[in-house]
Structure 1
Amino acid sequence: MNMMKLTLNNYFVYLSKLDRLWQKKTELSCYAVFLVLIIFWCRIKWNRRFIDRFAAKLPGPQSYPLIGSGLEFTGTLQQIMDKIIQLTEKFGSEPFKVWLGSTLAVMLTKPEDLEIIFNSSKALKKDEIYNFLINILGEGLSTAPVYKWKQHRKIITPIFNTSFINQLLPIFNKKTSIFIRNLQKELGKTETFDIFDYIISSSVDTICETSMGYNCDTQSDDKFVFSNAINESTKVICSRMCKPWLYPNFIFNIYAKITGWQQICKKCHELPDQIIKEKKFEHAQRKTMENTSKSEKNRFKVFLDKLLELNDQGANFSDKDLKDQVLTMMIAGSETSALTISFCILMLAIHQDIQDKVYDEIYEVMENGDQTLTIEDTVKFVYLDQCIKETLRLYPSLPIIMRHIEEDVKITNYTIPKGTTVMISSIGTHHLPEFYPKPWEFNPENFDPENVAKRHKYCFIGFSGGPRNCIGMKYAMLSMKVTLSTFLRNYSVHTSCKMSDIKLKFEVLMKSVYGYPVTIRPRVRTPSYQLKMKNKNL
């Protein structure tokens, strides 16, 4: 019995020693892990020492570990946009910092600083946040890495020459005529309607035909599925941009399943995939013809035709490259123009005196006839041009443009260190009171040539700036002039909305919270000044 007790005692002593040994090993392991974490943290801090020193010099909103300034940008899409505007108004033209998680972002509004960043070879790279757009846009000119952007921009730029843009005018005229005809159902109604619904439909029609030679008029279901998918995609992308905790892919993948992200992406790509497949087949058939007819040689070629021809000449666009470029043009080109036109029509509805002045100019150029608009006519729409640019100043489609600094860049008062993100605030620059007195008022005289000459070139960045500016600027301006001038020739536009009623929201692009509510009446085709003189004589 005593021997058994002794054996048991020895066993328990052994277990006790083993437990103490295990505790020591666990304790040592914890110390080792803790030490590794400290070393890792110290290494990160050492590598980031220049960024942290630079950040210490700048003012900015409160930030916290891991999420940075993320709490500043919570809430509704309107509250996020309000916060961006509040920050830019608070700091004016001085740089300030915003922590995007652990990434330092510097907000710039000063035109001299913008010029340096836009034209620096060290700041051509789009910020990593643009990777959130790749599932929708692919790697087109807007999102491509610098090496790919340089190759493709050099090849694609000649396509957007004046001759090609001018050849698109018949398509612009045709689609605008359909837009005018569709609006007739709103005549005689006293309740307002959202003009954006009509404009985005026309814009998608136009971009499909000019980019891919595809007529959406007969495929309205395809068009609406595509438009709705784009709208849904921007909401998801915007939500991710404003929430640093959604930046890691493994977390976003969970969020993506909840929001049906994969289905949204699929719907965005269905229409372009279908059209590109058809156009490639047609192109291949034309190539196999031994003798190309004269009519084929003179056939008008749209953007996709041009890309396929460039491929024949050695451009080496892969199928994915072709799709990415077309997607970028379709998505970026349709909604940005539609938003600007909608805002411009709303501004003219609010400011009847300015609307009268625009119509007077159109009447002076076109008179009372129904003749088709020509390129020469659009060149004469000088005041309309000013109204479009003033709309882009007040309500830039892209309120924030982001670049990644690959090497130190010296701006006017600071040197921005490598690894920093730069946020170029077009909404901030466009509302600096030192350049635009009463910055939240709609005043097309801001773009009178004399006033433009007094300001720095980068006081207006409605189409970005530098070598990575918007390649479709001429396309956009011509299409907007055609749409607006034709609309105003046929209808006068009215609204009970006031400037103070307009609230903005951030959905990657900047939009109106309450849409663009207007009513329309048939245009009395007499210049406003003649009507005023007639009423005065009576």
Structure 2
Amino acid sequence: MEMVIYSVSIIMLSIWFHWRWKNKRFCNLASKLPGPISYPFIGTASMYTPTYEGTVQKIEQNAVNYDYEPVGTWIGPFFYVSVVKPEDIQIVLNNSKALEKGFLYSLLKSLLGEGLLTAPVDKWRKHRRIISYAFNVKFLEKLYPVFNEKNRILVNDLKSKLTSSEPFDLWNNIISTTFDTICDVAMDYQVTEPQKKFEFLNLLTVVSEELVKDVNKPWLYWDKNFSIYKNMCDLGNNLKAIKELPLQLIKEKKQNYQIKKSTLKPNGNNIEESNLGNKFRTFMDCLLLANESDPDFSDDDVLDEVITMLYAGSDTSGTTECFCLLMLAIHQDIQDEVYDEIYNAVGDSDREFTPDDMAKLVYLDQVLKETLRMFPILPVFTRQLQDDVKLSNYVLPKGTGVTISPMVTHQAPYLYPNPNIFNPDNFSPVNVANRHKYSFIAFSGGPRGCLGMKYAMMAMKLLISEVLRNFSIHTDIKLPDIKVKMSDGFIRKIGGYPITIRIRDKKPSYLRKTISSNCK
């Protein structure tokens, strides 16, 4: 028995020393960086938590404990450095050797394939070039009629809530609107059966929630392990079922694309330089054009980008809109100021919003950014270094996983005084000018930052404006009562977004206050 114990001990020590030698550059850096204690084989035990939000809280705790310096941790055999200061974040996000997304995104590939969010660098560069046309400013301005139409439908749906004084959860109304909008503006497609739409949205939630739980299981980062795991539970079947709606969408759009081509009047030397019929080229048109003209852009590539767009284009905007409306319901003075700005732009008319109107809504822009500061959609993201990267005080070796948390950086008191207070003035021109650019990273940053940032801000401003010019929003919830969870990869409020609405008094707040004062 003693010989067995002795032999096992020798083997374990040999493995340990070999591993230490192989990873000596990481081990040397770990010995210099501040951070919690790490143990052989298991790594930093304090980072293992049963929930994703628990892991983010640990990252935040480490940032505070170590004065916002880079912190080194081991998750099993994987070495991560958590970077919080804007100066270091800028170095990482702008470095051409830090564009790979990292191991954490490998699980998301089972849902999104290798779309823009999860693709390796070479594929990402190519896909971004193909897709970028659909996100340029001139194209986005052509989308206003679609946004206005979808938002009017939302307002009509919300009117049914006026008859009850009981709070209702905004989520279903908002996510239905954002999903319908992204389908129309990006793919010129309408899901006519509500049941199919909500089945898809529910599957998205179920699958992504399962994948978020698996983030804390590093043994699943290997493809073979994950393949076995997903086939042993419902995840495998759900991943197949979730593709049904996107595949149907793509099939119909391919048929329509061929019809468009047959009526094409070329105004250039090739199809790409021409408009498809009389309609501008949508996101889906860009994909189908690439699929037809580039043998390396496969049907799977089209599917991956469509699912990624449906996932990111509806959920992210919808979540921020719900948080923003809830913040305005809690802070009536801020809601009044936003409405006054809308009134100054369009008066009490019901005409459609225009790009010129949106340009005037500067304070609403601040409100949305403050919402994203307090409730960033992605609480944490990672990069995998393809070469050494020098930060302010340390050199991170090739292969290091870098963790960046908007949730943590946005809560740093030296960047945002009183960070737990909702204060849109954090984004006044003066305050923005006095802060480092990378102290706000709700849309990530650098070359691999969010391609849809302008789309998202425009979409959110239009929806919030349409709701506020028709209704005033109210809630009994207080800001300290709000608790969040990391559900399906995004931040969510526990308990939903309960509000009540009333028909909007179209007068600006200063007139309402004057009339109220004269009546006393």
TM-score higher than 0.5: yes
Rate the CA distance shift 1:379–1:192 in 2: closer, same or farther, 3 A. same
Equivalent position of 2:114 in the other structure: 139
Matched, 1:287 2:265: no
Matched, 1:226 2:226: no
The CA RMSD over aligned residues, in Å, is 2.6
- 1:442-461 alignment runs, 5 A limit: 442-461=422-441
Q: Hey, what's the Cα distance between the residues in 2 that align with 1:532 and 1:28?
A: 88
Equivalent AA in structure 1 for residue 491 of structure 2: M
Task: Give the CA deviation at 1:254.
Answer: 5.3
Task: Give the CA deviation at 1:53.
Answer: 1.3
Matched, 1:117 2:88: no
Q: Hey, what's the Cα distance between the residues in 1 that align with 2:126 and 2:435?
A: 34
Q: Please give the TM-score of this superposition, normalised by the length of structure 2.
A: 0.92
Equivalent position of 2:236 in the other structure: 262
Q: Hey, what's the Cα distance between the residues in 1 that align with 2:374 and 2:481?
A: 14
Matched, 1:489 2:490: no
Equivalent position of 2:17 in the other structure: 42
- Specify the SS of the correspondent of 2:88: helix
- Specify the SS of the correspondent of 2:73: strand
Deviations 1:40-99 (A, max 9, x none): 543322121110111122233344444434654423555455444433343342111232
Equivalent AA in structure 2 for residue 177 of structure 1: R
Deviations 1:258-313 (A, max 9, x none): 54101221232111111111111222244345878999621243210122234455
Equivalent AA in structure 2 for residue 509 of structure 1: F
The answer to whether the 8 Å contact 1:78/1:513 transfers is no
The answer to whether the 8 Å contact 1:368/1:525 transfers is yes
Matched, 1:243 2:224: no
Rate the CA distance shift 1:340–1:88 in 2: closer, same or farther, 3 A. farther
Equivalent AA in structure 1 for residue 188 of structure 2: G
Equivalent position of 2:270 in the other structure: none
* Amino-acid identity (%): 45
- Specify the SS of the correspondent of 2:350: coil
- Structure 2, unmatched stretches of 5+, are 268-273
Q: Hey, what's the Cα distance between the residues in 2 that align with 1:315 and 1:358?
A: 50
- Specify the SS of the correspondent of 1:125: coil
Matched, 1:328 2:302: no
Equivalent AA in structure 2 for residue 522 of structure 1: I
Q: Hey, what's the Cα distance between the residues in 2 that align with 1:363 and 1:462?
A: 28
Equivalent position of 1:524 in the other structure: 505
Equivalent AA in structure 1 for residue 162 of structure 2: L
The answer to whether the 8 Å contact 2:472/2:502 transfers is yes
Compare the two structures and name the one with the higher helix fraction: 1
Equivalent AA in structure 2 for residue 454 of structure 1: N
Rate the CA distance shift 1:250–1:308 in 2: closer, same or farther, 3 A. closer
Q: Please give the TM-score of this superposition, normalised by the length of structure 1.
A: 0.89
Q: Could you list the structure 1 runs, at least 4 aligned residues long, displaced by more than 6 angstroms after superposition.
A: 27-37, 290-296
- Specify the SS of the correspondent of 2:281: coil
Q: Hey, what's the Cα distance between the residues in 1 that align with 2:4 and 2:421?
A: 65
Task: Give the CA deviation at 1:332.
Answer: 1.1
Q: Hey, what's the Cα distance between the residues in 1 that align with 2:113 and 2:440?
A: 28
Q: Quick check: 293-302 or 516-525, which moved more?
A: 293-302
Q: Hey, what's the Cα distance between the residues in 1 that align with 2:275 and 2:74?
A: 59
Q: Hey, what's the Cα distance between the residues in 1 that align with 2:112 and 2:501?
A: 35
Q: Quick check: 371-380 or 76-85, which moved more?
A: 76-85
Q: Which has the larger radius of gyration?
A: 1
Q: Hey, what's the Cα distance between the residues in 1 that align with 2:96 and 2:276?
A: 42
- Structure 1, unmatched stretches of 5+, are 1-26
Q: Hey, what's the Cα distance between the residues in 2 that align with 1:465 and 1:290?
A: 38
- Specify the SS of the correspondent of 1:183: helix
Rate the CA distance shift 1:76–1:31 in 2: closer, same or farther, 3 A. closer
Matched, 1:411 2:386: no
Equivalent position of 1:345 in the other structure: 325
- 1:112-511 alignment runs, 5 A limit: 112-216=87-191, 218-249=192-223, 251-253=225-227, 255-257=229-231, 259-288=233-262, 297-312=277-292, 314=294, 316-507=296-487, 508-511=489-492
The answer to whether the 8 Å contact 2:376/2:442 transfers is yes
- Specify the SS of the correspondent of 1:466: coil
